[in-house]
Amino acid sequence: MSEQDTLTAYHEAGHAVIALMLGRSVHEVSILPGGKRLGYCEMRKGGRQPKDALEADLLILLAGMAAEAKVSGQYGLGGASQDLQMAEKLALSRAGNARQAQRLLERALDKVEHLMRDATTWSAVALIAEELLKSRFLSGRAARHFHEQAMARGKK
């Protein structure tokens, strides 16, 4: 198991946990490389719709980079480049100009980093990441199970 595998597992687990927290339906999570990606977190339509869907999308997109940075101590901009490009497009669609879009991205990153500092949230990320390192693939059902397990432990 390489350092890259570990960072990828935490990156994808970060996406999955924030998506689940926001009521999105996670279909599968993987650290099996393919194409230009080292892993993926696939979501499906359905689930609870957040009040602000664009903000939820931004948080989910930035969650992978934030989780990875919590482990490595730095942002892996190369590994998160596709997520960042999508987040920048979303922010620009709401903000209207580049400066406002940048501020929106900074606020969203602050928010997702705050979520990652929560012990229960981080426990869910770690559970999913560790399972990804063992099996390299998780169904959405398994990801939900680990998320719910961490949430239940956090309430005790």
Instruction: Give 89-141 pLDDT, tens digit per residue.
Output: 999 999 989 999 999 999 999 999 999 999 999 999 999 999 999 999 999 99
- CATH code, domain carrying 111: 1.20.58.760
Q: What is the predicted pLDDT for the residue at 78? A: 79
- What positions carry a catalytic annotation? 12
Task: List Cβ neighbours of 39 (8 Å cut-off, separation of 6 or more).
Answer: 8, 9, 11, 12, 29, 30, 31, 32, 33, 132
Express each pLDDT in 14-70 by its tens digit.
999 999 999 999 999 999 988 788 999 999 877 677 789 999 999 999 999 999 999
Find the angle CA(67)-CA(88)-CA(28) to the nearest 5 degrees: 45
Provide the whole-model pTM.
0.94
Confidence of residue 1 (pLDDT cuts 50, 70, 90): confident
Domain count for the chain:
1
Q: How far is 85 from 61, CA to CA, in rounded Å? A: 10
**Range of the structural domain that residue 73 is part of:** 3-155
Q: What is the predicted pLDDT for the residue at 37? A: 86
Average pLDDT over residues 76-96: 91
